[in-house]
Amino acid sequence: MLEELRRSTVAAMLCGALCTATAAAQSARAPDLILAHGTVLTVDPRDSVVQALAVRDGKVLKAGSDAAILALAGPRTRIVDLHGRTATPGLIDNHAHVAAEGVEYNQIALDDASSVAEILERVRAKAAQAKPGEWIQGHGWDEAKLREHRYVTAADLDAVAPNNPVWLRQVTAHYGVANSYALRLAKVTDSTPNPPAGTIDRDSAGHITGVLKENAAMGLVTSLIPPPTPEQWREGLLRMFDRLHQEGMTAYKDPYDTQPMWDAYRSLLDAGQLTEHVCVLWFAGTTLEEAQQILKKVQSLPRPPESLGEGRLVSCGVKLVMDGSGGGRTAWMYQEWHKNGNEIDHGNYGYPYEDPAVYRQMVRLFHQAGIHVGTHTIGDRAIDWVVDTYAQVEREKPTRGLRHAIIHANLPSEHAIEVMAMLEKKYDAGYPEMQPPFMWWLGDNYAGNLGPERALHLEPLKTLLARGVRWSGGSDFEATPLPARYGIWAAMERETLKGQYGAHPFGTAEDVDVHTALRAYTTAAARQLFLEDRIGSLEPGKDADIAVWDRNPYSVPGAQLKDMKCEMTLFHGQIVYEAQ
């Protein structure tokens, strides 16, 4: 009897221990988080739409029905009821100057200014707070949005800030205006010649206006402005991460990296504060000697798809620049630029940012070293030169997978589209990184500068796809506003902000559907960050970067997408933003 009791007690103890161990094991395998009772757009290859999603250890564990996913819950699983809201992958921007914009938080914001007088009043207020001789900076003005439809000038600024040097950068960042104080410091006078690949704007009498175009000219002034401190770089990035999270954005390519920017990213990574996936392009300069120095730097870092911090920081490659801007009429074109719609800007075809032959040598240098190249190029002539350069270096040393990019690719010719398709298919290279918000935020400026016929070919998104050319989406923040939802909307609607030349001067023949537009800002952009195995879709094993929205982009009218509100953002399975 006693022996039977002892045996049953031991058996009970063993069973209890086994059950406890089994329960613990099941709990350990259970999701950390479940999102349920909603609509989940996975953007997987089948474009699957499900009700719920399970997350464990920062990764997507499973997507499926409410019943299937909730059955996985353990005692410690947090369950978030979506209440019918829609979840998508975290949105990705293929081209956003996040670090550079982050340090501008103390500058005068001018993106919403509607007149020259309004700009001057803001400068006057800033000057009243500044010490004599202290720099005053602002950014974001756009003559196409001003009532006067003209540039701000040095004479304007002199009237409100005579005792301080002033520099106001135009929204495209390809030109800006300085007051006379700043021009004196820079020793820019009526007799100063235009630098190579730069323009010092002058009035009809030959006097300088204060407007300087492209880095060669702008640098005469901007090189005198004290640089940000390391702490300002870090603080600016943290501010920007908050803004990105509020818009459901969890990854971006920062396309003009310098050592201070990289140091700030590394510092935040080391401190556990880098809550975005960041792919940086190092600016490689305009000479072969500069390129050789940057090559040494890039070669000292992990190459994509290798990264630092589990995909948080990627040294993706280098950035080169082939031409200027559509806003400043400095992009390199086959035909003359227009002004004010139908007026010809006689003799102005734009110009190369650097010697085209030297550019080709620089691309060859990086390509042969196995480094990704992204080239800023706007005009049709510049795009032809860039894609032909990529084709030439690939013929010389065939290398699949470097994904050389045509940044912006605003006006590709038939030839360029043909070469892009060949490069993508044969070499996994030649990808256009498009910015649909140009048509909206810069659209009134662009429409006037392109003229009615050429405007119809801006951002030919549908034609690119039809010809087998895959493209991704971005903003070129702060040339356009940060939210990626604007890009998704603009790719579908192709509307301008003010409608100065009509609501659709770029036509609607090149619009795309919402599925294509969302992919451009998720899976397609992830490839150009070399992170497609980690992010871009909500599939098992990928990072749980998730945005929760107040509406379903697949079911609402396209016009409503611009006004979508992000209500929650997760990065690596952690909630980094929740609307109050």
Decide: 248 and 484 in contact? Cβ < 8 Å: yes
Identify the band that residue 105 occupies on the pLDDT scale cut at 50, 70 and 90: confident
- Would strands 372-377 and 313-321 be described as parallel, antiparallel, or unpaired? parallel
Q: Judging by beta carbons within 10 Å of its beta carbon (0-12, 13-18, 19+), is residue 137 exposed, middle or buried?
A: middle
Q: What is the largest CA-CA distance in the chain?
A: 118
Decide: 451 and 412 in contact? Cβ < 8 Å: no
Decide: 316 and 281 in contact? Cβ < 8 Å: yes
Taking the C-alpha atoms of residue 366 and residue 292, their distance in angstroms, rounded to an integer, is 9
Length of the chain in terms of residues written: 580
pLDDT given at position 24: 47
Taking the C-alpha atoms of residue 516 and residue 229, their distance in angstroms, rounded to an integer, is 41
Place of tokens 């700030």: 264
Give the pLDDT mean for 388-405. Answer: 98
Give the tokens for residue 568: 């929650």
pLDDT given at position 170: 95
Taking the C-alpha atoms of residue 369 and residue 281, their distance in angstroms, rounded to an integer, is 15
Buried b / exposed e across 216-231, counting CB within 10 Å, b at 16+? bbbebbbeeeeebeee
- Determine if the peptide bond prior to 305 is cis (ω within 30°): yes
pTM of the model: 0.92
The residue extents of the domains of the chain are 104-222, 230-576
Side chain identity at 420, as an amino acid letter? Answer: M
Quote the Cα angle for 275-280-284, to 5°: 160
311 φ/ψ sector (left φ>0, alpha ψ -120 to 50, else beta): left
Decide: 311 and 277 in contact? Cβ < 8 Å: yes
Domain spanning 230-576: CATH 3.30.360.10: no
Instruction: Give tens-digit pLDDT for 130-151.
Output: 999 999 999 999 999 999 999 9
- Residue 135 dihedral angles phi and psi, to the nearest 5°: -70, 140
Question: Given a cut of 50, is residue 23 above it in pLDDT?
Answer: no
Buried b / exposed e across 518-537, counting CB within 10 Å, b at 16+? bbbbbbbbbbbbbbbebbbb
Instruction: Give tens-digit pLDDT for 231-246.
Output: 999 999 999 999 999 9
- Residue 493 dihedral angles phi and psi, to the nearest 5°: -105, -30
Percentage with pLDDT > 90 across the chain: 94
What topology is assigned to 104-222 in CATH?
Diaminopimelate Epimerase; Chain A, domain 1 (3.10.310)
Instruction: Give tens-digit pLDDT for 28-85.
Output: 689 999 999 999 999 999 999 999 999 999 999 999 999 999 999 999 999 999 999 9
Q: Judging by beta carbons within 10 Å of its beta carbon (0-12, 13-18, 19+), is residue 417 exposed, middle or buried?
A: buried
45 CB-near residues (< 8 Å, 6+ apart): none
Strand-pairing partners, residue 64, are: 52
Q: Where are the alpha helices (DSSP H) in 93-153?
A: 98-102, 116-129
**What does pLDDT average to over the chain?**
95
Question: Given a cut of 80, is residue 341 above it in pLDDT?
Answer: yes
Comparing CA positions, the residue from 14, 575, 542 lying closest to residue 245 is: 575
Question: Given a cut of 60, is residue 27 above it in pLDDT?
Answer: no
pLDDT given at position 106: 87
- Residue 121 dihedral angles phi and psi, to the nearest 5°: -65, -40
pLDDT given at position 21: 41
pLDDT given at position 18: 42
How would you write 38-64 as a 3-class SS string?
A: CEEECCCCCCCEECEEEEECCEEEEEE
Decide: 281 and 123 in contact? Cβ < 8 Å: no
Strand-pairing partners, residue 80, are: 35
Query: Running DSSP on this structure, what letter comes out for residue 302?
Result: P
Place of tokens 């609307």: 579
Taking the C-alpha atoms of residue 423 and residue 438, their distance in angstroms, rounded to an integer, is 25
Give the tokens for residue 325: 């801007």
Identify the band that residue 25 occupies on the pLDDT scale cut at 50, 70 and 90: very low
Question: Given a cut of 80, is residue 2 above it in pLDDT?
Answer: no
Taking the C-alpha atoms of residue 91 and residue 1, their distance in angstroms, rounded to an integer, is 70
Instruction: Give tens-digit pLDDT for 155-198.
Output: 999 999 999 999 999 999 999 999 999 999 999 999 999 999 99
